[in-house]
A and B are shown apart, each in its own frame.
Chain A
Amino acid sequence: MAKPKVGVFGMTGCAGEQIVILNCEDELMDILKVLDIRSFHTAMSENDEQCDLDIAFVEGAVVQPEEEVWLKKIRKRSRLLIALGTCAVWGGVAAMKNEVSPQRLKDEVYGPRGQIFKSIPAQPLHSFVKVDFSVSGCPIEKEQFLQAIASLVHGDIPVLPKYAVCTECKLNENTCLLVEKSELCLGPITVAGCNARCLSYGIPCCGCRGPVEEANIASEVEILKEKGFTLGDIRNQLRTYAAPAEVLQTYFTKR
């Protein structure tokens, strides 16, 4: 079987996903054995911008009109488009700005004399194109990425956990920060896959991986309010990584 032709692309973000890919130091040689990387701007200069691709990995959120055009082009030439990272899957930190007026942002940053740059509300990829599979995380977890590649090479769509971080937190036998220490933990509504990374360091889950499919935001907010957090604090925390996520939008517009 021919190696799948692959492109790695970055919209706007911190490039975390590309760095995670490059962080697969031990596996990089094996990755090159199974993938035919045609485009990866952060890592190589000779990029094929035209060829058909089997898989396009796209990180980052769409924040400029040019990126929308570019993304659609990538979609057209790729059999599978895979969103990498919370920005690509949910909008990520960039999407926090959707909550603030664009004029205010530009004024504050570039001043009245500054050039006004074109900018559109930051959106995840699925707002513009069909996404075949998502690997969330800010940044993605190396293990999940490698798992995804292995499945794709085998010809299957990968399966990643859909349950919440709490499950992994319990599998690691951590003390529950929400229950035992009344901390603002988003573990119950955040999708697992990080092996409860923060919790294992005694740090509450800040929701960097985005919400689970059926996130019970109302119940989570009730629990946190009972612990003394204000709706503002809770809302800030929830929207830091996944502002445009439908569940959050629906919950907060109802208020």
Chain B
Amino acid sequence: MQKSVMVDHLCRVEGHGGINVAIEDGKVVRVEMDIFEGTRFLEALVVGRSYNEIPPILSRICAICSAVHTITSLLAIEDAFDTKVSSQTKLLRDLLVQGGNIESHALHLFCLALPDFLGYSGAFTLVSDHPQEVKRGLGLKKLGNTIQEIIGGRAVHPVNAILGGLGKVPTRETLLRLKEELIKGLEEALTAIEFIASLEIPNFSQSPTVYAALGSSAQEYSLFGDKIIFSGGESKEIESYKEVCNERVVPHSHAKRSHFKGKPFMVGALARVMLNGHKLNSAAKKAKEKLGLDSPTENILHNNTAQAIEIIYSIERSIQIIDEIVEKGIKDEKPVKIKPKAGQGTAAAEAPRGTLYHSYTFDKEGRVTKADVITPTAQNLANIEKDFRASAGRLINEPEKSLQAKLEMVARAYDPCISCSVHLVRVR
């Protein structure tokens, strides 16, 4: 008997993707996560462009992670030109990235994934029965956007984060007002956690998983780091990210697949909590305990839970950043001058969906000769297929409709951002 499950158009993820699982004689024979988003060749297109044109263009890889794309792009350029930005700039950039993290996680958790757990077709239908939860989710999402608007100047594709610093530094009053909203938001997030904790998380997708995230020797949980760490204990320099993400082009999709030491791996909130979770403290730490992510898990559906924990972390971190800036006295500084030179620069940051790499090579006028961006979803695709295989194997006797829904749930748990993954990397 042959059975094949197709989800033509994966909904409630950003972009266009599909799932294709073929089952023959009770065995899963083929698993494909298909991406049919059109290709835009953005990395090839920035070749020849001047360095300052790069961040806004590459921000357009993805709307939902545009803040972290922009920041990573800035960091890579500043790395190439040895630009040192002020500690205030670093903090404000961190704050912006936290805003993106809150927004993206809240959107995914409350509007895209929650309906799955509760059996709804989406937030629009969920809202009539669970208005409170959806409203709370939207409130948190808005909080993330407020940060992005204040620091980035726009919720999507930030304009204010530029090379060397910020176009306009927010005033002390603005930051303090933001802090008040964050404090309120934290309350809301903690209430939301109660609800998330009450959800039952199935474990049909459980399978051995390698996690990867940025790590550092710092004491605190962070969305930045100075090396790539793995659940097996290995670590790598950020500059050698290519060895980790040795991408392959596969015939069925516009996007490529990443492997580390021959194995697929997972990046994202769950990987971060698994690898760096011990560094969480205060409310985020408590949330981690409450949500049962204290002990290792290999169930991808826990990525949703990890996102909930990170929402709390990001709010707390944002408050901390504001306190630190305000305490030091906010300076209305102008961006540091950039002196372009020939060379290469690489940077990584933790996007909501996992580690993001930008790497550029410049000529001496500061024009790009080579650009490489590796997005988290691209890294996750191979792992998604692995989880499909495991899930389909367990669920082989389920009726097709339910199998289809559950596979979709797996794909969605990764919070895949398909416009992200359809990017272009040079293959040697």
Q: What distance in Å separates the Cβ of A87 from its nearest Cβ neighbour in chain B?
A: 9
- Considering the chains assembled together, what is the distance between the CA atoms of A138 and B159 in angstroms? 11
Residue A203 interfacial (CB < 8 Å): yes
Partner among B14, B122, B142, B145 whose Cβ is within 8 Å of the Cβ of A15: B14
Q: What distance in Å separates the Cβ of A45 from its nearest Cβ neighbour in chain B?
A: 4
Residue B141 interfacial (CB < 8 Å): yes
Task: Report whether B121 and A44 are in contact in the complex, using a CB–CB cutoff of 8 Å.
Answer: yes
Contacts of B172 in A (CB 8 A): none
Residue A128 interfacial (CB < 8 Å): no
Task: Report whether A138 and B157 are in contact in the complex, using a CB–CB cutoff of 8 Å.
Answer: yes
Residue B167 interfacial (CB < 8 Å): yes
Contacts of B61 in A (CB 8 A): 14
Task: Report whether B12 and A15 are in contact in the complex, using a CB–CB cutoff of 8 Å.
Answer: no
Residue B16 interfacial (CB < 8 Å): yes
Stretch at the interface among B44-52, B227-235, B340-348: B44-52
Stretch at the interface among B82-90, B286-294, B300-308, B418-426: B418-426
Task: Report whether A19 and B43 are in contact in the complex, using a CB–CB cutoff of 8 Å.
Answer: no
Contacts of B115 in A (CB 8 A): 45
- Considering the chains assembled together, what is the distance between the CA atoms of A110 and B254 in angstroms? 10
Total count of chain B residues near the partner, CB < 8 A: 65
Question: A15-B64, A109-B44, A139-B63 are known contacts. Are A45 and B11 too (CB-CB below 8 A)?
Answer: yes
Task: Report whether A25 and B40 are in contact in the complex, using a CB–CB cutoff of 8 Å.
Answer: no
Within 8 A of A (CB), among B135-189: 138-139, 141-142, 145, 153-157, 159-160, 162, 166-168
Residue B57 interfacial (CB < 8 Å): yes
Within 8 A of B (CB), among A91-114: 92-94, 96-97, 100, 104-105, 108-111, 113-114
Q: What distance in Å separates the Cβ of A109 from its nearest Cβ neighbour in chain B?
A: 3
Q: What distance in Å separates the Cβ of B153 from its nearest Cβ neighbour in chain A?
A: 5
Within 8 A of A (CB), among B1-46: 9, 11-16, 36-45
Residue among A25, A115, A240 facing the most chain B CB atoms (10 A cut-off): A25
Contacts of B111 in A (CB 8 A): 22, 43
Nearest A residue (CB) for B104: A19
- Considering the chains assembled together, what is the distance between the CA atoms of A111 and B249 in angstroms? 9
Contacts of A16 in B (CB 8 A): 60, 63, 66, 156-157
Residue among B41, B64, B160, B168 facing the most chain A CB atoms (10 A cut-off): B41
Contacts of A119 in B (CB 8 A): 38-39
- Considering the chains assembled together, what is the distance between the CA atoms of A28 and B103 in angstroms? 15
Nearest B residue (CB) for A41: B11
Within 8 A of B (CB), among A14-63: 14-20, 22-23, 25-26, 28-29, 32, 37, 40-47, 60-63
Contacts of B410 in A (CB 8 A): none
Nearest B residue (CB) for A141: B154
Task: Report whether A42 and B141 are in contact in the complex, using a CB–CB cutoff of 8 Å.
Answer: no
Residue B125 interfacial (CB < 8 Å): yes
Residue A211 interfacial (CB < 8 Å): no
- Considering the chains assembled together, what is the distance between the CA atoms of A32 and B126 in angstroms? 12
Residue among A19, A32, A40, A233 facing the most chain B CB atoms (10 A cut-off): A19
Residue B225 interfacial (CB < 8 Å): no
Partner among B12, B45, B66 whose Cβ is within 8 Å of the Cβ of A14: B66
Question: A13-B419, A26-B142, A93-B42 are known contacts. Are A44 and B424 too (CB-CB below 8 A)?
Answer: no
Residue A206 interfacial (CB < 8 Å): yes
Question: A12-B37, A111-B428 are known contacts. Are A206 and B56 too (CB-CB below 8 A)?
Answer: yes
Contacts of B15 in A (CB 8 A): 10, 15
22 contacts between A and B (CB under 8 A): A12-B419, A14-B62, A15-B14, A16-B66, A19-B63, A20-B63, A23-B155, A25-B138, A32-B124, A37-B124, A41-B12, A43-B11, A47-B11, A61-B38, A96-B45, A105-B424, A108-B47, A117-B254, A138-B157, A198-B153, A201-B160, A206-B56
B residues near A (Cβ < 8 Å) are 9, 11-16, 36-45, 47, 49-50, 53, 56-57, 60-64, 66, 107, 111-112, 115, 121-125, 127, 138-139, 141-142, 145, 153-157, 159-160, 162, 166-168, 249, 251, 254, 408, 419, 424-428
Known: A23-B141, A26-B138. 11 other contacts (CB 8 A): A12-B37, A14-B62, A22-B141, A44-B124, A44-B125, A45-B122, A110-B427, A122-B38, A201-B153, A201-B160, A236-B49
A residues near B (Cβ < 8 Å) are 10-20, 22-23, 25-26, 28-29, 32, 37, 40-47, 60-64, 66-67, 92-94, 96-97, 100, 104-105, 108-111, 113-115, 117, 119, 122, 138-139, 197-198, 200-203, 206, 208, 233, 236-237, 240
